[in-house]
Amino acid sequence: GAVVSQHPSWVICKSGTSVKIECRSLDFQATTMFWYRQFPKQSLMLMATSNEGSKATYEQGVEKDKFLINHASLTLSTLTVTSAHPEDSSFYICSARDWVGTEQYFGPGTRLTVT
């Protein structure tokens, strides 16, 4: 299957600071990328969908000014958590799909802890 990488794999930051998470498709061009969040023992929650070169589409209840998504190229999307708070601590996972749009592959995830 296709390979999606994420960086960093884990990050600890202080409350009020911002954190940027990168998601890269390594062996295919990702026309669409998705960002999910998962709290312990809960299912995946889709935060937003981004198409290359377009503004991200956020799911209901997700603050677009807090979770900034940029999908500037066909292989890179970034999620920036601005003014992070302890309740933002979670497992953030990106996923990518090519233009054919059939299968969707996940990155390894980024564990964010806000102290």
Partner 1 sequence: QKEVEQNSGPLSVPEGAIASLNCTYSDRGSQSFFWYRQYSGKSPELIMSIYSNGDKEDGRFTAQLNKASQYVSLLIRDSQPSDSATYLCAVKRGGSTGTASKLTFGTGTRLQVTL
* φ and ψ at residue 87, rounded to 5 degrees: -70, -10
Interacting positions 19-78 with partner 1 (CB under 8 A): 31-32, 34, 43-44, 46, 49, 51
104 binds partner 1 (CB under 8 A): yes
To the nearest 10°, report the CA torsion of 8, 104, 67, 38.
Answer: -70
| CB-based contact 47:58 (threshold 8 Å) | yes
∠ Cα 47 81 90 (to 5°): 65
Closer by beta carbon to partner 1, 16 or else 55: 55
Q: How far is the CB of 63 from partner 1 (least distance, A)?
A: 19
- Give the residues lining the site for partner 1 (CB under 8 A): 1, 31-32, 34, 43-44, 46, 49, 51, 91, 93, 97, 99-109
